[in-house]
Structure 1
Amino acid sequence: MSSPRLEKITPDNVEAACRLRIRPDQEGLVAPVAWSLAEAYARPEAAWPRLVYDGTELVGFVMGFFMIRFDPDNPDDRFRSGIWRLNIAADHQGRGYGRFAVESVCEEVRRRGQSRATVTWTPGEHGPERFYLRLGFRPTGEKSGDEVVGELDLRGV
């Protein structure tokens, strides 16, 4: 890994973004990039989609979210910001790109004045739980549908 960077989605890179593929054993655990971009289009006030590049090579996709509720009908549900989606290309996993993407979203969360980041993940053998736990996220005990809700306190990071 040289110096990864985030780039906005543009007409010049959207097709490559939609072709990005994760490992086959992860396909039921995270939505494809095209689905994420449709969600970003539908929720532009909350979504922050970015591509992860290493040099000129596209290696991943991350989408942050800012100040939304997982369950808007639940008055006890707090506003949250954090990782909405993370897709690292199958042949680029395990090289630090996911960590870079998560840290970049957390920095944006801090820049927007928040002190915690949240993420959800599907539990399972090939799921991202160990990855998020290694980064310091801790399960909150909440669920969002069938997914575990994790939280990272950004004040001490």
Structure 2
Amino acid sequence: MTTARAPRLEKITPANLEAALALRVRPEQEFAVDPVAHSLAEAYVRPDKAWPRVIVADGRVVGFVMAFLDIDWRDDGTDVRSGLWRLTVAAEEQGKGYGRFAVTEVAEELRRRGKKTLHVTWHRGEHGPEDFYLTLGFEKTAEKVDEEHVGILRL
């Protein structure tokens, strides 16, 4: 009997890039998340602010997560935040705990960096991720950014 290995996060490398780029959510979820290629382009131009990783389980890429680090939220230095920028779990891998694992790992990384809160934004809608984030303990705020709702998880 083969035992499943625990999921882990790995840096993006030439060996896993194509698998990361091939990740797709369910069609009805596409409105809520940008493609991985878009995320990696943002990480490339903002390497000091982006923390991209693939989610690997049993030797295969099952998802992608990217944190943001010390973003000047209001462009005036008064509100610097860190949090979850992107989360994609492949359509066929959803419901297996990989999203929860990735959020937990991002929270741990932010704690290691001395952060006290983890911010996230999401699109609302029938197939959006709001319930997922609320189940993980995020508090929905009254704030919106580009029509996305802002949530906060206290670390």
TM class by smaller structure:
over 0.9
Letter in 1 for 2:18: E
SS of equivalent to 1:21: coil
The structure 1 segments of at least 4 consecutive aligned residues displaced by more than 6 Å after TM superposition are: none
Contact 1:70 1:144 in 2 (8 A): no
Q: Cα distance, 1:2 vs. partner?
A: 3.8
1:131 aligns with 2:132: yes
1:26 is matched with 29
Gaps of 5+ in 1: none
- Residue 68 of structure 1 corresponds to 71
Q: If the length of structure 2 is used for normalisation, what is the TM-score?
A: 0.94
Percent identity (aligned): 59
Q: Provide the residue aligned with 1:6 in structure 2.
A: 9
SS at match of 1:27: helix
What whole-Å deviation, never above 9, does each CA across 1:18-72 have from its counterpart, x for those lacking one? 0111111011110000000000011111100000010211100000111103332
3-state DSSP of counterpart to 1:107: helix
Q: Whole-Å Cα distance in 1 between the matches of residues 116 and 84 of structure 2?
A: 14
Secondary structure of 2:18's aligned partner: helix
> 3-state SS of the aligned residue for 1:106?
helix
Residue matched to 2:43: 40
Instruction: Please state whether the residue corresponding to 2:40 is helix, strand or coil.
Output: helix
Task: Give the Cα–Cα distance (whole angstroms) in 2 for the partners of residues 13 and 54 of structure 1.
Answer: 13
Q: How many residues align?
A: 152
CA distance in 2, matches of 1:52, 1:6: 5
Aligned AA (2:29): Q
User: Normalization by structure 1: what TM-score?
Assistant: 0.93
Corresponding position of 1:89:
90
CA distance in 2, matches of 1:136, 1:98: 14
Alpha-carbon RMSD: 1.2
1:148 is displaced (CA, Å) by 0.3
Q: Which amino acid is the alignment partner of residue 53 of structure 1?
A: V
- What residue is the counterpart of 2:147 in the other structure? 146
Matched-pair contact (CA < 8 Å) for 2:43–2:51:
yes
Amino acid at match of 2:114: G
- The answer (yes or no) to whether the contact 1:119–1:151 under 8 Å persists in 2 is yes
